Amino acid sequence: MELFLNVLVLLVLIGLSIILNRFIPFVPVPLIQIGLGIGIAYWPAGIHLPLNPELFFVLFIAPLLFNDGKRMPREQLWNLRLPIILLALGLVFVTVFIMGYIIHWMIPAIPLSAAFALAAILSPTDAVAVGALAGRSSLPNSLMHLLEGEALMNDASGLVAFKFAVAATVTGVFSLLQAASSFTVIALGGLASGVILSYVLIRLRMFIRRSGMEDVTMHMLILLLTPFIVYMCAEEIGVSGILAVVAGGITHAIERDHSESTMAKLQVVSASTWSVVLFILNGIVFLILGLQIPAVTSVIFRDAAVSNTQVMLYIAIISLCLLFLRFLWNFVLLKEKWIAEENSTTLPHMHSVILITIAGVRGTLTLAGAFSIPFVLQDGSPFPERSLIIFLAAGVILFTLIAASILLPLLAAKHESTHSADQSSIEFQARRKIIGTVISTLKEEMSYENKTATLSILSRYEKILHQTLQEEPAALKPCGQETGL
């Protein structure tokens, strides 16, 4: 009963956050949800939900990243492969190395290997937070695709580096060659397992359809279970479950494109169902982050051996160093042609670099990783400064979230004419797709009994589709074609 009440309270808080955002639109929904989570944790009769990292990854991260992989444009992902690799691999490992030494130098009580662990868990950006904050700031599409691609890929590199740093702290042994080879196996194995498992599940659905079972509910259930199956199977065989669900999402997107004209009703139900599921999961993720903060802060604030002012200063310095390192990396290596917008005014290189720097927010994935740090070392002694490490991770998360919430709307360039043209193109594409889906569904559902009525409705919708195509925005027409001809 207690678990049911906890879930019910979380769902109510998600709805309340949307209502509050209606009255204070300048405060992003994620920050409102974090605030509500903190408030309900301090409330005497509130809920207390311990964060289980393994359960968190499979229950929240898996479906969210699966959906991100499914909706990420493959062409843009491929075109941006080099900058994404530079950010998701190069920047992560550079951050771990440099920030590890900075943290150890600044806080000698944290051993170097533990400092590397903290730097590793702070290195990946959070896909959920990036989408929630960057999307509301009207960032150019090219920057959004780069940020989303980075967030999809850098989770695995950051978590693998974190895993080896923690293992080195616990056992006192570290091998660079073993770490590099293990990372290669884990990353490539995760991508391969995601593609293979998704392909098997897609073939299973096709076999069920060929057997005459067209029940949309059953097919939708298989789709909902897919990210959990892919993640758990990948983790079970010792490869990256995060990269597996990303690859699985991309594989399902390719399959959806090839079979878009078939089983149109499933496409409609799938879009509606996933929108509700993702809305709830996104909200719960930020509420859980807020719920954990009071417990994390109370341990440090009650510790007489630690100066609260000094710890807050550590958080500010670490956060600013992370942002400066990210800025420097992008300023030196990011090419302007990679983030150039087609048919629009390209943002100045410095402006783009600043936006990408500020948008590199950390989220609940970082806190979940920090909570997975073991309590004791191999010899039975306590893990050095575990509570302080978790507190620093939570502080950096809040620092980057608040900084992005304030600065991104101010810095994001809004070219009104280009935005209007893009909006009109998006609306046209959506209208055409909806009408096409309706026509496909009517044809699929047509039977001998309803043939006359269905043909009449089909004729009406085909006229609407023809009128819609006549209203096609000029930007989408082939070169030389004039409107109305």
Q: Helices (DSSP H) in 47-175: which residue ranges?
A: 53-56, 62-71, 74-79, 81-85, 92-106, 112-122, 127-135, 141-171
Cα(203)–Cα(208) distance, rounded to whole angstroms? 9
Cα(432)–Cα(430) distance, rounded to whole angstroms? 5
Q: What is the mean pLDDT of residues 473-484?
A: 44
Cα(280)–Cα(232) distance, rounded to whole angstroms? 21
Question: Which structure tokens are listed for 14?
Answer: 């998600």
R_g (Cα) of the chain, nearest Å: 24
Report the half-sphere exposure of 314 (CA within 13 A, side-chain side): 27
List, in order, residues 6 or more apart from 201 with CB less than 8 Å away: 222, 226, 229, 230
Q: What are the E-state strand segments in 199-310?
A: none
Confidence at residue 349, expressed as pLDDT on a 0 to 100 scale: 76
pLDDT at residue 222 tops 60 = yes
Cα(379)–Cα(377) distance, rounded to whole angstroms? 5
Question: Which structure tokens are listed for 164?
Answer: 């080896």
Confidence at residue 199, expressed as pLDDT on a 0 to 100 scale: 92
Confidence at residue 347, expressed as pLDDT on a 0 to 100 scale: 64
Residue 32: which of 255, 40, 261 has the closest Cα?
40
Q: Which of 111-125, 201-215, 452-466 has the lowest mean pLDDT?
A: 452-466
Confidence at residue 413, expressed as pLDDT on a 0 to 100 scale: 53
Q: What is the mean pLDDT of residues 26-45?
A: 85
Q: What is the mean pLDDT of residues 159-177?
A: 84
pLDDT at residue 244 tops 90 = yes
Confidence at residue 396, expressed as pLDDT on a 0 to 100 scale: 94
Q: Which of 163-172, 253-262, 273-282, 428-437 has the lowest mean pLDDT?
A: 253-262
Q: 127-135 vs 62-71: helix axis angle to the nearest 10?
A: 50
**Mean pLDDT over the full length of the chain:** 82
Q: Which whole-number Å values give the CA distances from 376 to 169, 189, 288, in the listed order?
A: 10, 30, 25
Burial (CB count <10 Å: 0-12, 13-18, 19+), residue 184:
exposed
Give pLDDT tens digits for 354-388.
888 998 888 878 888 888 888 888 888 889 888 89
pLDDT at residue 476 tops 50 = no
Nearest-5° Cα angle at 236, 231 to 242: 30
Burial (CB count <10 Å: 0-12, 13-18, 19+), residue 364:
buried
Confidence at residue 449, expressed as pLDDT on a 0 to 100 scale: 67
Cα(326)–Cα(353) distance, rounded to whole angstroms? 9
pLDDT at residue 138 tops 70 = no
Cα(230)–Cα(196) distance, rounded to whole angstroms? 9
Cβ atoms of 196 and 226 closer than 8 Å: no
Which of helix, strand or coil describes residue 279?
A: helix
Confidence at residue 424, expressed as pLDDT on a 0 to 100 scale: 60
pLDDT at residue 481 tops 50 = no
Cα(331)–Cα(125) distance, rounded to whole angstroms? 18
- What is this structure's pTM? 0.78
Cα(146)–Cα(334) distance, rounded to whole angstroms? 11
Q: What is the mean pLDDT of residues 135-139?
A: 63
Q: Which of 105-119, 134-148, 209-223 has the largest mean confidence? A: 105-119
Phi, psi of 376 (to 5 degrees): -130, 160
Give pLDDT tens digits for 263-291.
566 677 777 788 888 889 888 888 988 88
pLDDT at residue 431 tops 80 = no
Q: Which of 16-30, 154-168, 218-232, 333-347 has the lowest mean pLDDT?
A: 333-347
Nearest-5° Cα angle at 223, 433 to 77: 60
pLDDT at residue 484 tops 50 = no
Beta carbons within 10 angstroms of residue 464's beta carbon: 13
Give pLDDT tens digits for 147-164.
888 888 888 788 888 888
Q: Which carries the bigger pLDDT value, residue 247 or residue 182?
A: 247
Question: Which structure tokens are listed for 71?
Answer: 């909706």
Confidence at residue 343, expressed as pLDDT on a 0 to 100 scale: 47
Confidence at residue 237, expressed as pLDDT on a 0 to 100 scale: 92
Q: What is the mean pLDDT of residues 239-262?
A: 80
Question: Which structure tokens are listed for 448?
Answer: 């001998």
Give pLDDT tens digits for 290-333.
888 888 888 888 877 778 889 999 999 999 999 999 999 999 88
In the chain, the amino acid numbered 311 is V
> Could you give the percent of the chain with pLDDT greater than 70?
85
Confidence at residue 97, expressed as pLDDT on a 0 to 100 scale: 92
Give pLDDT tens digits for 444-455.
777 766 677 677
Burial (CB count <10 Å: 0-12, 13-18, 19+), residue 483:
exposed
In the chain, the amino acid numbered 193 is S
